[in-house]
Amino acid sequence: MTVLVTGGRGLVARTLVPLLHEEGYDVRVASSDPTKLTPPGGVPAVRCDLGDPDTFPAALSGVTSVFLYAEPSHIDAFIERATEAGVRHIVLLSSSSVISPGTATNPIARMHREVEQPLTASPIESTLLRPGAFASNALQWSRAITSTGSVDLPHPNAHTDPIHEADIAAVALAVLADPALRGKEYHLTGPESLTFQEQIDHIAQVIGRPLTVNAVAEETWRREMTEYVPGELVDALLGWQRSHDGVPTETTETVEQVTGRPARTFATWAEEHAAAFKN
């Protein structure tokens, strides 16, 4: 089996590629700029820009399985080139937003649906990984934590289901390796529902200093975020936080069911990434 892993600079891909390599799979990792990749020795880095169909044929040549990042702009062309190349299985990194309330108006859900639907209608067997909130989303607080020791949030008590990127990669490895696990939809979460405040408390514990959470108005947070994120996505995030303020998020045991080991806790993630939050 030859596996192409797209989105090579992402945390999940950077975790999955070494796992595949260690298991002896023929793996290549792809990015729009492969010169920025640092794969394990013996793993080739190739150019596959999901926004440029001209890069698809060479990247897919000889590939039998793909770990695919969700980019809808040229998904039909990608499926066509993958079919021509003889790809038999695609594992899509989708999102649990597609199964949450309000999917019709949620731009995050819409983007992932626009990839899921043509994939599942294609002749290639497809497996959909639908993780909830990535534990690594906490990295967005690192600058504020290292510079001021405080984080501004409109809804500090909004709950999420943070999942470690290593658990997403472990599930991807399992479904790539075991034909019996393919062709299904997997809702992936961490083992517990935690508020933003509780996540920041975990970070404070591992870095050994107190951190402050400041409750700010939604519009204040929106102005700050739109410097980095499109306004439509910021509005979707605000709506999600508002609806989960004080409301625990449902978690699943899918990681353990697929991999045979419990999902890692956010506390574990924080310990492993403590350096990102230290001065």
pLDDT at 279: 80
The two three-digit tokens of residue 50, written as one number = 């999901």
Q: Which region, left, alpha or beta, applies to residue 85 given φ > 0 means left and ψ of -120 to 50 means alpha?
A: alpha
How many angstroms separate the CA atoms of 264 and 26, rounded? 28
CA distances from 136 to 75, 85, 248 (A): 26, 34, 19
Q: What pLDDT, on the 0 to 100 scale, is given for residue 101?
A: 78
pLDDT score recorded for residue 132? 96
User: Which residues, given as ranges, of the chain have pLDDT below 70?
Assistant: 103
- Give ranges for CATH 3.40.50.720 in the chain: 2-131, 134-162+190-250+264-279
pLDDT value for 105: 77
CB contact burial 58-67 (16+ within 10 A = b; e otherwise): ebbeebbbbb
Kindly provide the residue ranges of all beta strands, DSSP E only, lying in the chain, ordered along the sequence.
2-5, 26-31, 45-47, 65-69, 89-93, 125-131, 150-153, 159-160, 185-188, 194-195, 212-215
Cα distances from 134 to residues 104, 139, 264, in angstroms, run 22, 10, 12
Q: How many CB atoms lie within 10 A of CB 228?
A: 9
CATH architecture type of domain 2-131: 3-Layer(aba) Sandwich (3.40)
- Domain 134-162+190-250+264-279 classified CATH 3.40.50.720? yes
Which residue bears the tokens 């409301």? 247
Instruction: Please answer whether residues 109 and 103 qualify as being in contact, where contact means their C-beta atoms are separated by less than 8 angstroms.
Output: yes
pLDDT number for residue 103: 67
Burial class of residue 216 in the structure, from the number of CB atoms within 10 Å of its CB (0-12 exposed, 13-18 middle, 19+ buried): middle
CB 235 within 8 A of CB 226: no
Instruction: Give me the phi and psi of 22, to 5 degrees please.
Output: -65, -30
